[in-house]
């Protein structure tokens, strides 16, 4: 039998820009480390978008001891999204979404995993017995150790509403929390949520926006705009390749079918979406009526 050493705890994971072959990384070591002095390891990987890359490691650095160099009592800011940071609280997704956690702090996050209770964790639907530890999924922003994110895949979630709560600690062991809610749409059925236009009211231009559960599909979008008396005044047709769960780029200049500017006032609109997946299957969804206001 052979024995070997395993390094499980990562003090920092991040990236830096290489300029003229040189780079630097700055971060503050969290309080939660093993204070006994010992060899640490720095692993490097570099790429420039070509087929060539580089990798290496340094095991000569010594880590240990303690020093109180930071006076910090401000908790980190933790934001929780599904799939992208455009996700809105209560939005919809499919049964296999990705948890996106964005963190920011004056000095950086603690994801070492060396102290009980100081992990970056996610709890789905209040089930603390199946707490998800996100330490290994967290990475600091490029050239910025004060910000970072974790991306974690969920699988086979039940249809319906869910809550997700994330808690994390900064390098001085101040804790912060973030929470969101989301709805998993039923398989095979399209769904729309958070339908709106922005700006609203508007004078010359607005954009229709909505969330959907038809990611990675080709979307045929129809926006029908009516007067308050029920007369159809404008139909907007738009095609979008959905790489996420949100559409924000359906623009309108406030003109009717004949190119004439509509009078100021209140109008109603409804959005209808048809999605087509890679196998050719289609699903449609239609929103409720929403109001918009034109100012002149």
Question: Structural domain boundaries of the chain?
Answer: 1-187, 192-294
- DSSP class per residue in 101-150: EEEE-SS-EE----STT-S-EEEETT-GGGPEE-GGGEEEETTEEEEEEE
Asked whether the domain spanning 192-294 has the same topology as the one spanning 1-187, the reply is yes
Mean pLDDT of 165-182: 94
Say whether pLDDT at 280 is over 80: no
Banded model confidence at residue 144, pLDDT cuts 50, 70, 90: very high
**What's the pLDDT at 281?**
76
Question: Considering the chain, what percentage of its residues have pLDDT values greater than 70?
Answer: 98
CATH topology of domain 192-294: Immunoglobulin-like (2.60.40)
Banded model confidence at residue 178, pLDDT cuts 50, 70, 90: very high
Cα–Cα distance for residue pair 288/194, rounded to 1 Å: 11
pLDDT tens digit sequence for 49-78: 888 888 989 888 888 877 776 788 899 999
CATH topology of domain 1-187: Immunoglobulin-like (2.60.40)
Say whether pLDDT at 132 is over 70: yes
């Amino acid at each position: 039998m052979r024995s070997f050493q395993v390094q499980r705890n990562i003090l920092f994971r991040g990236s830096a820009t290489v300029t003229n072959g040189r780079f630097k990384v700055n971060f503050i070591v969290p309080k939660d480390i093993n204070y006994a002095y010992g060899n640490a390891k720095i692993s490097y990987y570099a790429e420039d978008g070509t087929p060539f890359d580089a990798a290496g490691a340094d095991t000569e650095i010594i880590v240990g001891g303690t020093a109180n160099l930071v006076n910090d009592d401000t908790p980190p800011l933790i934001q929780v999204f599904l799939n992208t940071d455009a996700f809105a609280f209560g939005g919809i997704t499919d049964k296999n979404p990705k948890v996106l956690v964005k963190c920011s702090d004056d000095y950086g996050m603690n994801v070492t995993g060396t102290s009980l209770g100081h992990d970056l964790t996610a709890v789905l639907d209040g089930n603390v017995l199946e707490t998800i530890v996100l330490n290994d999924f967290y990475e600091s922003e490029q050239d910025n150790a004060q910000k970072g994110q974790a991306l974690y895949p969920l699988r086979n979630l039940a249809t319906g509403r869910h809550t997700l709560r994330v808690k994390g600690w900064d390098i001085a062991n101040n804790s912060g929390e973030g929470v969101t809610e989301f709805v998993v749409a039923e398989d095979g059925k399209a769904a729309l949520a958070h339908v709106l236009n922005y700006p609203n009211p508007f004078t010359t231009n607005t954009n229709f926006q909505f969330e959907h559960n038809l990611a990675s599909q080709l979307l045929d979008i129809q926006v029908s705009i009516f007067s308050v008396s029920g007369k159809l005044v404008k139909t907007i047709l738009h095609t979008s390749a959905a790489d996420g769960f949100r559409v924000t780029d359906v623009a309108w200049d406030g003109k009717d079918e004949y190119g004439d500017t509509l009078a100021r006032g209140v109008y109603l609109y409804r959005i209808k979406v048809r999605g087509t997946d890679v196998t050719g299957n289609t699903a449609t969804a239609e929103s409720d009526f929403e109001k918009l206001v034109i100012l002149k």
